[in-house]
A and B are shown apart, each in its own frame.
Chain A
């Protein structure tokens, strides 16, 4: 990173300004101990990386004057100007491809999809232009680009606006796919994604944007990043492993609280990275607990849970004491009616029930 910083005019000044930005955001939300919302974590990560490296720019619909459809890019236009915070027309294929072309030429674009549902219009560029170019060009053309935006089920927006893309992008070689849960995840993973030399699909969650999380000084440091491909044990346990990512980590943690009351100690693995998948951490946990529940909002078939299940069957088959429980979204397009919507995505009680089944305990 340091060589990048050197070639940037006034980088030091901007760098420290960015740092202050993160701290301001923290204070604004401080209650007891330091906390930060996921929104501010993402905002400060982009801000700091744009400050540190002038090749980083932000492009997408409503990212500038509107301050971001979900306000993730708030304040960036004023700070970096319209040359670096670029409002595009409604042209997903066009601006995603423009981002890829800019990345070919050594810029570092952050492409915001208003939601990942709209990335369907640009999937050709994510898969064909971004993910495959390094290989097709035999390493001549790398594509340091981040595609980011909210992913997964929102509330009451129907089938086309409520879908998880983790498994879709997770199946494509050449991509890295990250899904943060907490403010720490959001900051550390987004900063790592922006610095990464390869294309990264960064799946955020609309519901989590406003959620506050405790945050440490280490995470607030502008040098903080998280390693791509490494999961986090969010809660230690010994009886059953629950794997989850994004919003579902919160559900898993709540389920673990309920399970604890029944004397079941659940270990919660926050995947953080869908691709590469941290098979080592998952398997290590399963070898300890001997039971696995996979949890995701996406469709069941060929999903993230299916992949995790395979990895455990391949690496730790002999350690399993119970069939793997797979919890996913229902195998239907997302319905609109509130009661149906609730039935279509995993609920905390589903997790509790599955974990008890895995432990051979009746619900």
Chain B
């Protein structure tokens, strides 16, 4: 095993985590404690067969708080293929996806400064191990809910780079025809349920998507084991919607994974300055679900945790909170002068670039040659160049599109002075109707 991945402890430049923690803190959730004076009885339990656990509060399984779930699955001396964490094919998929994210975002920065895209553009550089580690394990039917830092989540989930780039250019060929923009990537086909621009807003929506999987199974009697992954940052973990949804997801055992991309900074607010107990993963057990802390700069560790959490959700065993300790290599957005973060801190995380680390792992374990990886990099660079050309040459949305999609049913525009629905007016589809 390469040294980059064999370190038994996560490198912690900020050193706020206790190194004394056992790997597994078994926090047994109290099974249906009765409170003083409580008669603890469902009024309708005699009449209604409680096929679902929606209204049951009992959680009998153990809940684990895990500071580092990836026990070193190591063979110290010999590295035989069976001991490796991934196969060659998997390794190349991860490398390609992370490279795609990085090259795409670097290109975004260039295009932003060249005036090709506008508004707020938040780049994902440095955090690729999280997106790739989770999303590459998902099926197409599984859902991903993101934040304003959403380009790379969409790419990992399979939305073509040209469609994302075109969206950023505000073109009609974008994945939302130029109506969404950088912070609002959607793809129904890929089950990318949006980038949400408000802190915490995406979490309930993701929880609702997870609720749907359960509802489909239990009410609609469909075979549905789809899971939902909600990505959000450390800043969001101080917002009420996070706690509301941890509670309901655990209460109803929803198939969701709450993924905290703890990059230590909410714009210029240090996580340590904002949060009473900075170890976010601990909040999982407080709500009756596992909480896991993992090195978010190590895609293989993220992937291992993700696998366990996704499988758990798919088996119907409920949610997991995963805190990935990561770092963004750029400012909060391209408009952020990024003056508050310490140069030493930045350098320290830069030296742990997740792509470099994966590259090292792949080559040292003979899973891929330098030439293999170079070829992938070259292919990605071409793909991104092509995406830029495509976006550049695509038309801006036509005026006729302006009034489309406000409603699924355009009768929502109401009835005009002539007594007819406004959407029946030919001018409506030309985009020139007065509404």
Contact = CB atoms under 8 A, between A and B. Distances in A.
> Of residues B47, B48, B211, which shows the largest number of chain A Cβ atoms within 10 Å of its Cβ?
B211
Contacts of B178: 138
B33 to A, nearest CB: 17
Contacts of B207: 94, 97-98, 101
Given A54-B220, A82-B54, A174 B209 contact: no
Contacts of B197: 128
Interface in A24-38: none
Contacts of A277: 414
Contacts of B241: 93-94, 97
Contacts of A229: 411-412, 414-415, 421
Contacts of A144: 408
Interface stretch (A102-110, A202-210, A249-257): A102-110
A98 B55 contact: no
Interface in B386-424: 404-409, 411-419, 421
Interface in B184-243: 184, 186-189, 193-194, 196-198, 200-201, 203-212, 215, 218-221, 240-241
Contacts of A124: 198, 201
Given A65-B44, A83-B219, A279-B415, A105 B143 contact: yes
A16 interface: no
B176 interface: yes
A136 B208 contact: no
Contact of A140 (B44, B54, B176): B176
> Of residues A64, A88, A94, A273, which shows the largest number of chain B Cβ atoms within 10 Å of its Cβ?
A94
Interface stretch (B123-131, B244-252, B293-301, B321-329): B244-252
B206 A102 contact: no
A125 to B, nearest CB: 7
Q: Majority SS of interface residues in chain B?
A: loop
A52 B324 CA distance: 45
Nearest to B247: A89
A102 B215 contact: yes
A349 B194 CA distance: 51
B256 to A, nearest CB: 10
B225 to A, nearest CB: 14
Nearest to B434: A314
Nearest to A130: B205
Contact of A278 (B175, B177, B209, B414): B414
B12 interface: no
A196 interface: yes
Nearest to A104: B193
A94 B194 contact: no
Nearest to B174: A138
B58 interface: no
B179 A105 contact: no
B50 interface: yes
A136 B176 contact: yes
A136 B178 CA distance: 8
> Of residues A141, A197, A275, A277, which shows the largest number of chain B Cβ atoms within 10 Å of its Cβ?
A141
A137 interface: yes
A339 B413 CA distance: 41
Contacts of B42: 65
Interface string A237-250: 00000000000000
A136 B194 contact: yes
Nearest to B204: A97
Interface string B359-392: 0000000000000000000000000000000000
B431 interface: no
Given A86-B54, A101-B211, A135-B406, A228 B411 contact: yes
Nearest to A137: B186
A318 interface: no
B180 A104 contact: no
Contacts of B220: 54-55
B52 A82 contact: yes
Contact of A136 (B180, B211, B215): B180
Contact of B204 (A98, A134, A137): A98
Interface residues of A, number: 69
A159 interface: no
A322 to B, nearest CB: 21
Given A94-B244, A97-B204, A102 B209 contact: yes
Interface string A132-175: 01111111111110000000000000000000000000000110
Contacts of A104: 193-194, 205, 208-209, 212
A283 interface: yes
B18 interface: no
B206 A137 contact: no
Interface string B258-301: 00000000000000000000000000000000000000000000
A235 B42 CA distance: 49
Given A124-B198, A229-B415, A279-B414, A105 B212 contact: yes
Given A91-B244, A142-B408, A82 B201 contact: no
A104 B186 CA distance: 11
B219 A57 contact: yes
Nearest to B214: A83
Given A9-B221, A136-B184, A176 B201 contact: no
Given A101-B209, A102-B209, A129-B201, A93 B244 contact: yes
A84 interface: yes
Contacts of B179: 135-138
A125 B200 CA distance: 11
Contact of A176 (B54, B184, B412): B412
Nearest to B410: A198
A65 B48 CA distance: 12
> Of residues B43, B180, B204, B421, which shows the largest number of chain A Cβ atoms within 10 Å of its Cβ?
B204
A184 interface: no
Contacts of A273: 414
Nearest to A275: B414
17 contacts: A57-B219, A65-B44, A82-B44, A82-B50, A83-B219, A98-B205, A100-B208, A101-B210, A101-B211, A124-B198, A134-B406, A136-B194, A138-B177, A138-B178, A140-B187, A143-B408, A281-B415
Given A140-B187, A140-B188, 16 more contacts: A55-B220, A78-B47, A82-B55, A93-B204, A94-B241, A97-B201, A97-B241, A102-B215, A129-B205, A134-B405, A136-B194, A138-B404, A139-B405, A140-B176, A176-B407, A280-B417
Top 8 A-B pairs ranked by shortest CB distance? A101-B208, A97-B204, A276-B414, A94-B244, A137-B186, A142-B408, A197-B408, A105-B212
